[in-house]
Structure 1
Amino acid sequence: MLKKIFSALLLLSLCAIHSSGQGINTAFKIIPLGVKGGDDESNLSSYMIAPKGSEKYVCLDAGTINAGIQRAIDHQSLKGISEEIQRKQIKGYLLSHAHLDHVAGLIINSPADTAKNIYGMPSVLNTLRDKYFTWDAWANFANEGEKPQLKKYTYFPLIGGNTYPLEGTEMKVKAFELSHGNPFKSTAFLISHGESYVLYLGDTGADEIEKSDKLANLWQNIAPLINSGQLKAILMEVSFPNEQPEKQLFGHLTPKLFYSELSKLQSLTNEKALKKISLIVTHIKPPQHNAEKIKQQLLLGNILNLNLIFPEQGKLLTIN
């Protein structure tokens, strides 16, 4: 009798862990709304992310929104009407920095949006408040800044290293500061659901170029998650080909610098652990011949045999 009771309690516990997303095999789905860096306003950095089985997303950056949702509908990654998807399924925005190619979609589509949070480091939110959501530039749809404040959006400041719940979703976030053309800053977001994680890096330069330790600090923090098998994917930028002069990188990575940083991360992890992670390459800049060169250099330089993924606008990525 006691054995049956114990078995029943164990089964209930396992079911509770599974239903709450605490299992280590929790999967994510990522829908790229925009994948490019540069001057294509219809396809700029923005990634919807949610746990598998959920329609409660947050956006990692927001360079393109509406056009990206339309492409996702075309690819059957999303179902419904574009405006309704933005209003109902996107529960908030995580902004790595305030450059226009990472925030323009949020700003231009704000009149059609619904109330939700904008998450970011205080300096990022301050730029949004003081430069973009002003009555001279657009309209103040937020809860701070110039009056009248329409209060559709609520600024939610993130302090580096602290973990915060993402309102309206089952996910949490921890922010890490990056260097993006020192002294300009950007942000990496560590998204968690249960015991599983995805790491998104906004624009970033390499430590050796930036004279910084921001990536070294990030690698130290995420290495244990790689060793334990909890980190499922890293989204990381490569903006220019290897031929780009160092003085013209403007806080970005090349394929060579991309692998240099990942080799530092690999040195902190167990053998082959990094190979199990999906490495999603973001922010490749036009023109097209440069984009093709970047991809070729990444593939030829992949001596670590990493799992590289080149996302396409609107096409669903499932991360296990």
Structure 2
Amino acid sequence: MFKKSLLVLLYSVSTYAHAGFDIVTLGSKGGIQDGNLTAFLLKDSDEQNYIALDAGTIINGLIVADQQQAFKDLNVPPHSPYTKIGYLLREKIKGYFISHAHLDHLAGMIIASPDDSHKNIYGLASVNDTITETYFNWKAWPNFGNRGQGYQLGKYNYTDLSSQDWLPIKNTNLQVKALPLSHAGVESSAFIIKNNQKQIVAYLGDTGADRIEKSDLLNSLWSTLTPYIKNKQLKGIMIETSFSNDVAERSLYGHLTPKLLLEELTQLENKVGDKGALTGLPIVITHIKYSLLKQSDPQTMIQQQLNADNNIGVIFHFPAQGDHFQL
């Protein structure tokens, strides 16, 4: 019943009814749930190649998604030497977009790298620098990149992004620009992805609220998105809500709660126009932290708190690992 409701949620308002992007959830959680950490595949609805938005979980996410028929329309060519999972990894994922270099956003890529194919790692310069210095350095892991310490195996090509220009994404119909976000002293990123129909989707890595972070970076992102919303081009926003409102603001370490997310979305609504300017906009909630506590279900709490105080009219969607949906 829940999966059947996903598309109903995302298509319930006619403004957002024509899908521009297909998305597969490889990992939906943040924090400690290894095997299900933040990673989404995204492609233009009119093409076959994917990009990965973060890469906390890759191989296990592909296995789970395939078991749930997310790739039922994909046929592996008879001449391919690879399994379906291998074909997806090596032939259909055309690049990794890493929002920041915390392990729960790139561990899957690192682990899969020995058997991966040549592709680009896209990110802000600071993020790519951290990957080269911390992971692909012949100490934590062999250097599969094209820059950094020691012998460079050159499997991955680092591509630094900026907020100024649209960059074509190799082997896809998509373009991207990236804006910085504040994550408790770490530079995180928001990726704005555009297709040939000039439809866009915004994907945010980990971020704190401007009020808590003493930052203006989410405000700048909202200003960037405002004209796309006014022109009916924005298909949805994928954004974290790591903790419920029960977690004290001093203990968030650069993350959002339902209260803070709704505060930020209200700021966006004010930029776009009058009350109701965001009605029907799909908001995909990512990076909910897994809990080890008894009688604790963070996703249920976050879902209840967001829906209870949602006076903006957006539609919240909570993808599970393996889910395939459209924006």
State if a TM-score over 0.5 links the two structures.
yes
What is the percent sequence identity of the aligned residues? Answer: 43
Q: SS of the residue aligned with 2:104?
A: helix
Q: SS of the residue aligned with 1:40?
A: coil
1:313 paired residue among 321, 324, 327:
321
- In the TM superposition, 1:1-320 aligns within 5 A as 27-78=20-71, 79=74, 81-181=84-184, 183-194=185-196, 195-271=198-274, 272-287=276-291, 288-319=296-327
- C-alpha distance in structure 2 between counterparts of 1:25 and 1:309, whole Å: 17
Shift of 1:147: 2.3
- C-alpha distance in structure 2 between counterparts of 1:134 and 1:302, whole Å: 46
- C-alpha distance in structure 1 between counterparts of 2:44 and 2:135, whole Å: 31
- Residue in 2 aligned with 1:21? none
- C-alpha distance in structure 2 between counterparts of 1:289 and 1:26, whole Å: 31
- C-alpha distance in structure 2 between counterparts of 1:48 and 1:290, whole Å: 24
2:209·2:255 contact (CA, 8 Å) conserved in 1? yes
- C-alpha distance in structure 1 between counterparts of 2:166 and 2:228, whole Å: 15
Gaps of 5+ in 2: 1-16, 77-83
1:31·1:316 contact (CA, 8 Å) conserved in 2? yes
- C-alpha distance in structure 1 between counterparts of 2:278 and 2:217, whole Å: 20
Once the two structures are superposed, residues 125-145 of structure 1 have per-residue CA deviations (whole angstroms, 9 ceiling, x without a partner) of 111101101111111111111
Q: SS of the residue aligned with 1:86?
A: helix
- Coordinate RMSD, CA, aligned: 1.4
1:26·1:193 contact (CA, 8 Å) conserved in 2? no
Q: SS of the residue aligned with 1:39?
A: coil
Shift of 1:193: 0.2
Give the counterpart letter for 1:56 in structure 2: N
2:19·2:326 contact (CA, 8 Å) conserved in 1? no
Shift of 1:267: 0.6
Q: SS of the residue aligned with 1:189?
A: strand
Once the two structures are superposed, residues 244-270 of structure 1 have per-residue CA deviations (whole angstroms, 9 ceiling, x without a partner) of 111110000000000000000001114
TM-score under structure 2 length normalisation: 0.87
- C-alpha distance in structure 2 between counterparts of 1:222 and 1:130, whole Å: 33
Gaps of 5+ in 1: 1-23
Give the counterpart letter for 1:281 in structure 2: I
- C-alpha distance in structure 1 between counterparts of 2:325 and 2:31, whole Å: 23
- C-alpha distance in structure 1 between counterparts of 2:260 and 2:245, whole Å: 8
- Equivalent residues, number: 295
Shift of 1:302: 1.4
Runs of 4 or more consecutive aligned structure 1 residues displaced over 6 Å after TM superposition: none
Once the two structures are superposed, residues 191-230 of structure 1 have per-residue CA deviations (whole angstroms, 9 ceiling, x without a partner) of 0002100000100000000000001111111011001100
- C-alpha distance in structure 1 between counterparts of 2:162 and 2:283, whole Å: 26
Give the counterpart letter for 2:283 in structure 1: L
